[in-house]
Amino acid sequence: MTPLKQLAARSRLARFALAATAALMATAVQAELNLKKGLPDDPYFYSSGTWDQRYADQWALHAIGFGNDKNGKKLWKNVSKLKQSVVVAVIDTGLDYFHPDFDRQANLWRNTDETENGRDDDGNGFVDDLIGWNFVDRNNNPWDRTGHGTHAAGIIAAATGNGEGVAGMNPMVKIMPLKVLNFLGRGNSSGIAEAIFYAVDNGAQVINLSLGGEYITRAEQMAVQYAVDRNVIVVVASGNTASDTSNYGFAKLDTVITVAATDPNDKRATFSNWGQDVNLSAPGLDVLSLRARRTDFVEISGAENHTPGADFVGPENKYYRASGTSFAAPFVSGAASLLLSANPKLTAAQVTRMLLMSAKDIEVVGWDQLTGYGRLDVAAAMNADPDYETRVRVSTIAPAQVDGAVVVQVSGAADSTDFRKATVELGFGAEPKKWSTVETLSKPVKNGVLANISTSNFNQRGKWSVRVTVVTKRHGEREARGDIDIQ
């Protein structure tokens, strides 16, 4: 970018900053009034267009149920009644624990068994680990020099109701900052694995992993399994390369919650990874959260055509907007922490079921490899049945030979804890006007053949759709779809 273009860009940023200041002054008055109604008084919760966008500044929080409407007010009131603290380990670049919109007294995890005296008082192998650990520099100061971890943590735990900045999700959360990535956002697998073990051994109930790559080591896999075996929920970002999660590190593990990103239109964000491993989706485009001081992680990443400071928000640049599945995952981690705050007796499996089964179905009907079970819905999750789960999925539709005859074989899953029956239907076109039942299942199928469809059913060329529906006894119906081209 030329100096003249840089100057013009900075001039536009300055105008946006002045406009944003005026807008915040106006919304602050409204915010104070809304606090009396049970809603947050954080100005950015109400403002919109601060960086010249056409949606609310905290649209992502609104989208998952924390709006300023009637339903949002009910959710905020329920959250305000929570009393049980929950520890969420954010394994990332660290945390700016002195950020003015982060309540370090209320929301920063403390190791109460350790005293700052140069000794390992609790015998956990880490000296003076009072608030977490820095696995990069091997010391007790997990300070964030990049900003990525602070942004992720702020989504979950930014101070709410303090009349400043943004609203976070859970006022009862305790953030355990574990630094595993350096200034450039790079780390090693041994440090990440060690941080997961540390988080579990020191009381984390939820682990947020907004990191990853194409490979995952044996040590990292063992660390995740260690967490899962000890009833810890592990939430993982699906990745930002618009590629299949089967080739992407932590995201391909079947023991974690893999989260894809959505945009303000409730569609999958174009950069978000996809695949059979995606469980859930959450907002991940233009997410507003905390900015660690003296950081600009999008600039550090080397993004093309990025103007330094373009993502800073607020008169004093204390906030930051960013896109990525890295910032979709913390919404799910925050939601998991809320469920545990509401009911500490829930198991990790129950929390996972509540999150997945309550998601708002978007994109393709039913589970799909773009957004999983759908977009996170916190209000619905808070009221979900912890023991209910239905898994319906079309994995493959392909020709096969059965008993000497050529058929179109449909494979996948049609299973439920509340199973009544399942049907397999066939229709012509991408959106059939008419469906014909080709198979009825009286018993669930966990993973296998759902139907062998005679080729005589395909009486014309073109795209045919298959719909699998699971009918439950008390929880309604769920469906999944697939298609095949007949030439």
Catalytic annotation, pick one of 96, 103, 144, 148: 148
| Marked catalytic residue, from 85, 281, 326, 337 | 326
Catalytic (active site) residue 442: no
201: enclosing H helix or E strand: helix 189-201
- The helix/strand/coil state of 405 is strand
Of 272, 388, 269, 376, nearest in space to 332 by CA: 376
Report the C-alpha gap between 263 and 277 in whole angstroms: 20
Report the first-to-last Cα separation within the chain, whole angstroms. Answer: 51
Among 41, 42, 57, 92, which one carries the catalytic annotation?
A: 92
Residue 148 annotated in active site:
yes
Q: Which residues contact 408 (CB under 8 A, 6 or more apart)?
A: 397, 398, 399, 400, 452, 453, 455, 457, 458, 484
Active site residue 92: yes
Could you give phi then psi for residue 337, rounded to 5 degrees? -65, -35
Q: Are 266 and 289 in contact (CB under 8 A)?
A: no
Q: What is the DSSP string of 121-163?
A: TT-SS-TT-SS-EETTTTBS--B-SSSHHHHHHHHHH---SSS
Cα 45 versus chain centre, distance: 19
Q: What does the alpha-carbon distance between residue 71 and residue 58 come to, in Å, rounded to a whole number?
A: 16
Pull the structure tokens for residue 484: 């095949």
Q: Is 60 helix (H, G, I), strand (E, B) or coil?
A: helix
Q: Which residues are catalytic?
A: 92, 148, 326
